Structure 1
Amino acid sequence: MKIRIVAGGPDHLIPELKSFGTSSEDLWVGVDRGTFIILEKGIKPDYAFGDFDSVSAAEKEIILKSDIALNQYQSEKDQTDMELALQWAMDQKPEEILLFGATGGRLDHEMMNIQLLYRTITSNAEVKIIDIKNEISLKLPGTYTIEREDHYTYISFLAFQGEVNGITLNGFKYPLEKASLMMGSSLCISNELVNKSGTYSFDSGIILMVKSHD
């Protein structure tokens, strides 16, 4: 099972959702105004979470008439709508969770959405934040193979917390061998694959990997 969660980020930063799968095994989840965005894209959401304070009266009426399993909350609460939706999604134990509409709006929400990836780091699901220009994911120590994709020109690695030790990059324009990457360092920003595939590995720490294009 794969779960796609759509929040209410700026519409122009949300990619064509139908290209990310509409099979019967996929679940689509709206977060507040993201529910209306899914409907606008011609997809029927299975579930929705939020206080729905970011939709107009007309948009909310459309949502309420769309036979969606709604989880409505009060505006004043201790968790964001995205956190509640992501926690529910993880409880379903899917193989993949993709988050859309999570970037480009209010900076506090964007930063929190990226930090929410930490909540998923030990799950078996592959979790990514995707917008029109970027794909963001967290990685634990290990060795990974990465394929070159026409859609993404650059690959960046950032220390998510503290220090990443032993980072090695092979098949990249700027290779590394057992380097250290500190939080706040731009050492691994805007790298590129020079072959069809490459590998990256590190011994300790957590890496925030960002694939992006201009």
Structure 2
Amino acid sequence: MIKRVLIVCSESNINLNMFNNHNNFIIGVERGCLDLISKKIKIDLAISDFDRVLPAELAIIKDYAIKIDVQNCEKDYLDGELAILKAKEMYPNAPIVFISKQTKRYDMSLSAINLVKNYDIKFVNDETLIQKLPKGINELNFSNFEIYTYISFFAISHTKISIKNMKYNVKDFEFNNFDNKCISNALIINQNPIISTSKEIIVIASK
């Protein structure tokens, strides 16, 4: 039974060995396939238009992946979003971990937040973690965030937020969508932050 889907869109320094078993379905996208191959991690599905790999590299991917889906370069979705849609189609209840490096393009950075908002994925790279927090009371495990220097929150729509056990705390703060009032917070050693909101929000953790 598949418990989790891993989507890899780029090279990273993240150790992926914990995913390399039959409990996880692994999707490679573009040069993320080459990262999986170099780390000797299985590729259950390679999907992309593969316009960023050389013909020789594509041949290696085709030989390595269990299944490959080569998309047209002119399409309605980003390659990573196509991978998410395929994962949702195949395993609708499985959580998705999505690895993609940061880019100099602001539009692509914004698209990452949209993917988290629209599909409830966990977006990860060497420097950043982005995920959605549901409405209600959320306790963040200190051990899952201690490698990050900054913890920021963004409202998807107007909400009230209360923050406890962090460097900067608030109670029933009126939080407007994409307001900059909850940026660059920080953890307190060995304390789990408690985040309460009336609507779902985005958390971005950065090293």
Shorter-chain TM-score tier: 0.7 to 0.9
The one of 117, 140, 143 equivalent to 2:137 is 143
Partner of 1:158: 154
Partner of 1:179: 173
Q: CA RMSD in A?
A: 1.9
Q: 1:106 to 1:186 in 2, by over 3 A?
A: closer
Q: Secondary structure at the match of 2:56?
A: helix
The one of 43, 62, 65 equivalent to 2:63 is 65
Identity %: 27
Partner of 2:20: 22
Q: How many residues align?
A: 201
Structure 1 residue 7 corresponds to structure 2 residue 9:
yes
Distance 2:173 2:139 in 1: 18
Q: Which runs of 5+ in 2 are unaligned?
A: none
Q: Secondary structure at the match of 1:16?
A: coil
Q: 1:36 to 1:83 in 2, by over 3 A?
A: same
Distance 1:96 1:133 in 2: 21
Give how far 1:16 is off.
1.9
Distance 2:84 2:21 in 1: 20
4+ long deviations beyond 3 Å: none
What are the superposed Cα offsets for residues 52-107 of structure 1, whole Å, 9 maximum, x if unpaired?
A: 11101121111111143111111111112111110111221243211112532543
Normalised to the residue count of structure 2, the TM-score between the two structures is 0.88
Q: Secondary structure at the match of 1:157?
A: strand
Partner of 2:37: 39
Contact 2:139 2:193 survives alignment (8 Å):
yes
Give how far 1:198 is off.
2.3
Contact 2:20 2:42 survives alignment (8 Å):
no
Q: Secondary structure at the match of 1:27?
A: strand
Partner of 1:197: 192
Q: 1:80 to 1:159 in 2, by over 3 A?
A: same
Paired residue type of 1:93:
P
Contact 1:154 1:191 survives alignment (8 Å):
yes
Give how far 1:40 is off.
1.6
Give how far 1:196 is off.
2.2
Structure 1 residue 48 corresponds to structure 2 residue 43:
no
Normalised to the residue count of structure 1, the TM-score between the two structures is 0.85
Distance 2:106 2:32 in 1: 17
Distance 2:175 2:140 in 1: 19
Q: 1:4 to 1:105 in 2, by over 3 A?
A: farther
